Amino acid sequence: MSEDFVVKKVEGGESAGEALAQARQKRHFTLEDVARDLKIQRKYLRDIETACYDKLPAEVHAIGFIKSYARYLQLDEKKIVDLYKRELSIVKNLAGKQGEPKPAKTYSDKTVIVTPRFIKIGAIVLAILGLFGYLWYQISGLSVAPKLVIQQPAQDITVSDIFNATKKCLKNNITPILSFMSGFPDETIGDLKMTHDTIEKLLQMDKRVTVNGVFVYNPYPGGELFEDSIRNGIETPSAFEGWGDWDYKYDANHPWIGKEKQNYMKMLFLLVRFSYYWKELGRRNDFKKKYVIRFLLIPLKLSFALRWKRKLFSHGYEWHLWSWFMRNAVGYL
């Protein structure tokens, strides 16, 4: 070979996944090690390394995963993300940016046979609906939006802080109304029981103390909690238009919530919410709202007293019926 020619190695053909995989192997890390440290599911790490980008979540989340992965391996984040974007652009061009087909609608053809027994049951149901309708008419004016909204509270609030703040409100003749939240990715049944005990102690402090609910955490973009929700399998809209249909969920059906915890959360919410309405009725000057509706709700009040004291949160059929009525007849719970 002539000395006028110089052989040079051509670089730049390496993909983002290959760069990450080689850096990981060089440091003798396994995918399990990285998944545990970054709290990113192993399958997403594998999809990144093998360039299976169509299996990753929305692009904004995929970029977040790749940045965290590159930073973890002490690589140039910008370079790795640029490689990913270039590869993704090529894949989209080859695929013609074709969207996924919408699932076909299914229809069922059912026949209803009217019998005397069916008519009798229908009459009973109508009578019950009439009773609930009356309750709805009387209760519909109970919920009033609070005039004071405190946004972005500090993240280091303790139970003692809650008790001290409540005592200060009572001392200054301010009616304390508290809200709680549950259903976080790392929350346990034990945490829920602690929430139950905290609420019980608050209600025992003074009859003016009010807890208006234990609401379910709903993931929205921004913050560490949302990233934790993504890592734990929550599915979010991939396009901006999809967020228009992203509505608040009363029921806890997130991927990280098991059946036992889901039932506990739902019963805790319903019992606390009922207690709130019962107390609000007692503050009304209207005779019907204060006495008539309370009289009709006595069976639920007895059920509440038994379940709350003994923490009986299973088989709450009467509370599921009350929940259905409030959401479908009144429009909220």
Statement to judge: residues 51 and 136 lie in one domain: no
Shared domain check, 322 and 245? yes
Q: Between residues 155 and 253, which one has the greater pLDDT?
A: 253
Answer yes or no: is pLDDT of 167 > 90. yes
CATH number at residue 84: 1.10.260.40
| Residue position matching structure tokens 């390394």 | 49
Is 9 within the bounds of a domain?
no
- Tokens encoding 304: 């509440």
> What digits encode the pLDDT tens for the residues 63-79?
888 988 888 888 998 89
Residue 203 lies in a domain: yes
Residue 134 lies in a domain: yes
pLDDT of 111 over the 70 cut = no
For residues 133 and 245, membership in a common domain is answered with yes
**Residue at 107 is within a domain:** no
Assess whether 244 and 273 both reside in one domain.
yes
Q: Do 324 and 186 have their domain in common?
A: yes
Residue 12: phi, psi to the nearest 5?
Answer: 110, -10
Claim to verify: residue 237 and residue 124 sit in the same structural domain: yes
Q: Say which DSSP state 210 is in.
A: E
Query: In terms of DSSP H, where are the helices of the chain?
Result: 16-26, 31-38, 42-49, 59-72, 77-95, 116-139, 159-171, 189-205, 224-231, 259-282, 287, 293-296, 298-310, 317-325
Residue where a domain stops, chosen among 95, 127, 160: 95
Q: Does residue 78 share a domain with residue 125?
A: no
- Does one domain contain both 130 and 251? yes
Residues 191 and 298 reside in one and the same domain: yes
Q: Name the token pair of 19.
A: 């760069």
Q: What is the pTM of this model?
A: 0.51
Count of domains for the chain: 2
Does residue 220 form part of some domain?
Answer: yes
Look-up of token digits 């238009």 = 241
Q: In sequence order, which residues have a C-beta less than 8 Å from that of residue 124 and are 6 or more positions away?
A: none
With respect to residue 278, please indicate whether it lies within any of the assigned structural domains. yes
The whole-angstrom separation of Cα 293 and Cα 280 is 12
Contact 329, 136 (CB under 8 A): yes
The verdict on residue 126 lying in a domain is yes
What span, in angstroms and rounded, lies between the C-alpha atoms of 195 and 272? 11
Chain segment 120-166, per-residue pLDDT in tens: 888 898 888 888 877 776 666 554 444 434 343 445 678 888 999 99
- Residue 8 forms part of a structural domain: no
Please give the residue range of the domain that contains residue 307.
116-330
Q: How far apart are alpha carbons 182 and 215 in whole angstroms?
A: 6
On whether both 71 and 123 belong to a single domain, the answer is no
pLDDT digits (tens, 9 = 90+) for 182-221: 888 888 888 888 998 999 999 999 988 999 888 888 887 7
